[in-house]
Structure formats: C-alpha cells, structure tokens
Structure 1
Amino acid sequence: MKKKLLIIISSIIGVFLLAGGGYACYLFNTVKASADQMHEPLKLSTPHEKPNISGGGNSKSEDQPERTGPDPISILLLGVDERKGDSGRSDTLIVATLNTSKKTMQMVSIPRDTRTEIIGHGTVDKINHAYAFGGPSMSVETVENFTGIKIDYFIKMNMEALSQLVDAVGGVTVENALDWYEGGPNGFHYKKGKLELNGKRALGYVRMRHDDPNGDFGRNERQRQIVMAILMKAASITSVGKYDDILHILGDNVQTNLTFDNMMDIQKNYRDVRANIEQYEVKGQGGKIDGIYYLTVPDEEREKVSQMLKSNLER
C-alpha cells in the first residue's frame, strides 16, 4: 500500500480543506454547517493551552521570544464501532502529529487491545475501553498518559460511515494482500490483488481480522488503506453534488473539538505536511491475563513511541 495518508479520519473532513479546489466559495456555507454539527467541546480534568494554528506571532512567556508560524499540533483519531444500545469502543486509535516547520506528518497507530491505565476510571484495561467508559475525554487523557504527549484535538468517526463514504465517492480500489472468503448468504471472495469495492464490501474488508495472521495489526493496515482510497477518490471529485453527499455523511457521523475556524486554519497553514508522511504501529506481546487477551507494550517501546511523537512536536 502506498503510505500517503493525509490525516486519516480527520483528512476525510479536511480533504475539502487541505486539497483546496474551485468549489470553495460554493461549499463554504455547507462546510461551515457540517463543521458546526460535528463540533463537540473536549472536557478535560486539566484544560490545555490552545496551540497557535493561525500562523501569526505567538509569545507564550516573557522568557520566550515571539514566534511566527503555526505551532506543531497533535490530533487523536478515533474510529468507533457504534451499534444500537451500545456506547461503542474505539477500535481504531491513531495519534497524528503535524509539524509545518519540518513539513512532516506522523501517524502512530495504537492497537485497540493495548493494556494500559484508563485515566479517570481507576482501572488497567484495554485502551479502547476508555471510550466506552468516558467518551472522547477519557480516551484523550488515557492516550496522553500512554504516549506522554498533550493531545490538542480529537476527531471521532463512526466506522459505519466508511461504507457510506465509499459509496458516495463511487467505490474504491485497493491492493489486497490476503485471500479470504466472507461467508453468509451474500458471501464475497476477497481475492488477493487489486479489488474494486463498494461500501458494503469495504466495511467487510476493514472489519476482517480472524482470517488474518497479523490479527488487529492487519486490520489496522486495511483500515488505513480504505481511508486513503476514499481520500484519493474524494480529492479527484469534480461534482459539487458529490461533495454535498460527503459533507452530509460527515455531519451525521463525526464529532470533533475542531471548530470551523480551526479547520480553515489547518487548510491554510498545514497542507505542506503532506510532503513527508511517516507511519508507525505500536508493538507489543499479545497474550491472556486472567483469561482476557491483551497486547502488553514494554516500557522501552512506550518510551520509543513517546520520543517519536515529541520529536515531531518540536519547532
């Protein structure tokens, strides 16, 4: 797979912003209405200082000289599998860091079974349970504790929306590394090699893990692959009607503490980070503890991940 993600879930929102395009004026009001619908404040036990993303002068203290240009930022991307009567769990967790000075975007995936302290809940559990216990706020604080960095923004997306988005862009093409068959009355053969997928098939593609020798690691790779395919297809769309469909889907399925103005600042000031995109997945040892499967991440791996993220958050 070509590892050229923009901002994973956030870039599905931002594809209109980062990619620019000739329909900006027409879409402005529609994008703003969708952004307002998606907005959800982040309630943390200790509120964070807002990063400077506008690109203007910024001086945080008398001891620091005035700085120009936008600050590096971090975004937690949550892909949540929500079903009726269930608060859902964040089966996809990706920490994205964007640094305009280095023109670098970093994408670090945290496997959902990662065993860690759930901040605000007083337990040690799978990291994806933080969302079920306390929504985006608990997820953010738990990921902050695990990675050792401050999270500026979150973007949560219902994974069911992936199916709708794939259909909205007219289907996607992926390069499948495995060969497997999805059973049932409408079974489908996911042949190895190039595949053309509609929304239903794409959702099956990202959800499969039991037939994958790499388990969740393989599934996470396919999730990134589908999102990338959506982004590339969306970026090439020339129909205003298609954009309207996509924005409607996003408004119904995405929550974020990014405001419309934040999104416009990212579009204006962070688009060059696409020049250098780095991806990494947290590694650990899988096994059962008290009969429950976890991924145990060694301290040295956590430190490695923390230093990677901190490095791209330096000016």
Structure 2
Amino acid sequence: MKRWVKRSLIIVSTVCLIAGLGTALYSWYLYGKFKKTAADMFEPIISTPYVSSDSELQVSGIEEAIIALKPFTVLVMGVDERTNDRGRTDTMIVMGVNPLKHSIFMFNIPRDTRTAIIGHGTTDKINHAYAFGGVEMSKQTVEHFLDYPIDYYIRVNMEGFSNIIDKLGGVTVNNPYAFDFSGYTFEQGPIQLNGEQTLLYSRMRYEDPKGDRGRNDRQRAVLKQLISNVFTFYGATQISNLLAEMGDNVRTNITFDEMKIFFKEYGTGIEKVDSAEISGSGTMIDKVWYYIVGDQERDRIHELLKKQMSIEMDGV
C-alpha cells in the first residue's frame, strides 16, 4: 500500500479507539463483541516508566491515573506490516487527553525526524525505531525525543483501514479550494467524501501552497468530522462490522476495563481537539535526507504537552 494512504489512515484508528464505540457498551449483544475485539487488540509491552527531566512528570502509575480521571498520553503509530519484515512507522501521532480540560492535544512527529534511537545506540530517522525494536523501542525513542512519558500506544496496520471511514458514513469537509487529484475532482466548499476519497483528500501535498502544513490542516478537518460521526454512530450491524475491522487492524496496550472507563468517563467529556506542528528544516547527512528539529523547538513542544497534561485549569 502506498505511503500516502497510510499517513491518512492513522487518524481513523485514533478516532475509533479513543473517541468512540461507547454506544456498543449499552447493548449486551454488542458488549460481548466489544470485549472480544478488545481482547484481539490487546498486546502489552514491557517498558520501564520514563522519568522526565521535569521532576513533576514522573509516572505515578496508569491504574491510579484512571481511577482519578487524570490526563494520559497516547502514541499512535501507523505501521506498514510486511511478510518477514516488521516494517516501519509511516505516521506517529502523540495525543494528550485531559478530561479536566475536556480536550485532546495532538501533533505529528515527522517520520524523517533525526533523533537518538533509544536501545539501538544509533542516531537515525525516528520511524526506523519500529523496524529496529518494534513498539517498545518506538515508545522509548519518542519519550526521549519529547522528554515526556507515554502511557499508552495504539499500533495500526494500514491494510484495509479505508473501510472504517465508509463504515462511519464518510466525512463532510469544507474544502478551501478546488483541486484535481488521482482521478477525482475536489470542489471548493462543503463536500461529502467516502473512504477512498477521504484518503486522497488527506494525501494531496504538492499542489497545496502550504505543503505539508496544508495537508495536516486537511487531516485535522477530517479528524474532527470523524469524531462527530462516532458520537452519532449507531446500529448493531454497523458497529459489529466496525469492531471486526478494528480487531483485525489495531493493537494496543489499553485493556478492556480501561477502555470502558475511557468511553464512559472520558469520551463524552471531550469537547475540543487542539493540534500543533513541529517545525524544523530538511538537510542531507551522508547522502540521507533528514528532518532536523532544534532543541528550542523540542522544548516548545514539550512545554505545550506539559501544559495540556497539567491538572491545573488555565487562568486559575
């Protein structure tokens, strides 16, 4: 599957797992299916809790955080799984979920970002961490890059995930300008997109005057619409089909009991999704192209995430 498809599909997995599917818990029939799907998706990892250079950011334990409804972080990875090859992460999204602020803060880590690969002893593109050491090495590398602990991961196998958008009813977006891409015409203004069209809409980059930033804007617009669709999603057959897709394509260390708490106590309280871009510059090193993120920019992203995760309300 082409790389551009995978970059867009990861957004769908995030919406489906974190923001939705709570409706299934109100039906015993769907409850059983949801429990089986959670078991299919569950894949724990053994990882030493990360301690940030900020002393107050020491991990206090996930169970305690859930009971107290404290904020938590999630690393979402879109992975191209291949036969006899672990593959690489084509998309890495960090999410900070804070129920006290009724918000989610999210940002992409550019796949070509040059950083230390923790546990491998090399400096390389951040997406190579998965190829070298799977989820655990990716998590540790991201924690080091951000100087911030990651509580959970969600790994998405991109094959077949375009169907999830269709099962959620597609999306309606307000397209800022008309363009043609891969045989489709995307008119200016409100447009309804199916799964395939949504992926193409999220992919287009070179004709966008903002380049990658414009593509990210479109992906965020798609994300917000999908969140809205999830909260109005109903129908036993539809939900069953959606759960089946997720069971085949998603792996996470979030347990079934934790998911229930998230859906019941967190999901309906999320009112907004904020985002940020990681700024940097491209350069060639030993004939390899890297995305270089300076220390000042890394500190800025760290502080934004730290602020989002604070239990102190803004302005209080």
- Which of 228, 234, 237 is matched with 1:238 structurally? 234
- Cα distance between partner residues in 1 of 2:198 and 2:159: 10
Per-residue Cα deviation, 1:91-149 (whole angstroms, up to 9, x for no partner): 22221112233433221222222221111222222222222222211111111001111
Q: Secondary structure of the equivalent of 1:189? A: strand
Is the Cα contact below 8 Å between 1:105 and 1:278 reproduced in 2?
yes
Aligned to 1:278, the other structure's residue is in SS state strand
- Note the C-alpha offset of 1:154: 0.4
Separation in structure 1 between the aligned mates of residue 84 and residue 207 of structure 2, nearest angstrom: 28
Match of 1:211 among 207, 226, 229: 207
Match of 1:247 among 243, 247, 262: 243
Preserved contact between residue 12 and residue 226 of structure 2 (Cα < 8 Å): no
Aligned ranges 1:1-315 → 2 under 5 Å: 9-17=13-21, 20=23, 23-44=26-47, 50-51=61-62, 52-55=64-67, 69-82=68-81, 87-183=86-182, 187-271=183-267, 273-315=269-311
Q: Which runs of 5+ in 2 are unaligned?
A: 1-10, 51-58, 312-316
The offset of 1:197, in angstroms, is: 1.9
How far apart are residue 22 of structure 1 and its match? 7.9
Larger displacement relative to structure 2 (101-110 or 128-137): 101-110
CA change 1:149–1:22 in 2 (3 A) is closer
Letter in structure 1 aligned against 2:141: T
Structure 2 match to 1:61: none
Change (3 A) 1:246 1:204: same
Amino acid at match of 2:200: G
Contact 1:77-1:95 at 8 Å conserved across structures: yes
Instruction: Read off the aligned partner of 1:26 and give its amino acid letter.
Output: Y
**1:294 and 1:236, CA in 2 relative to 1: closer, same or farther beyond 3 A?**
same
Q: Deviations over 1:136-167 (max 9, x none)?
A: 11111111001111101001123344411122
Q: Which amino acid aligns with 1:197?
A: L
- For 2:239 and 2:49, the matched residues in 1 are separated by 38
> 8 Å contact 1:35–1:259 — kept in the other structure?
yes
Contact 2:41 2:250 in 1 (8 A): yes
**Which structure 1 segments of 5+ residues have no match?**
1-6, 56-68
Distance 2:192 2:273 in 1: 26
The CA deviation at 1:73 is 1.0
Hey, what's the Cα distance between the residues in 1 that align with 2:205 and 2:122? 27
- In structure 2, do the counterparts of structure 1 residues 75 and 273 end up closer, same or farther at CA, with 3 Å as the change threshold? farther
1:101/1:247 CA distance change after superposition, 3 Å: same
Identify which range, 249-258 or 276-285, moves more after superposition.
Answer: 276-285
Offset at 1:45? 5.1
Alpha carbons 2:19, 2:267 under 8 Å: kept:
no
What is the percentage of aligned positions where both structures have the same residue? 40
Secondary structure, aligned partner of 2:270: helix
Deviation at 1:306, TM superposition (A): 0.9
1:163–1:198 contact (8 Å) kept in structure 2: no
The CA distance in 1 between the partners of 2:66 and 2:270, in whole Å, is: 18
Check the 8 A contact 2:171/2:226 in 1, yes or no: yes
More helix by share: 2
Question: Residues of 1 paired with 2:159 and 2:215: CA distance?
Answer: 15
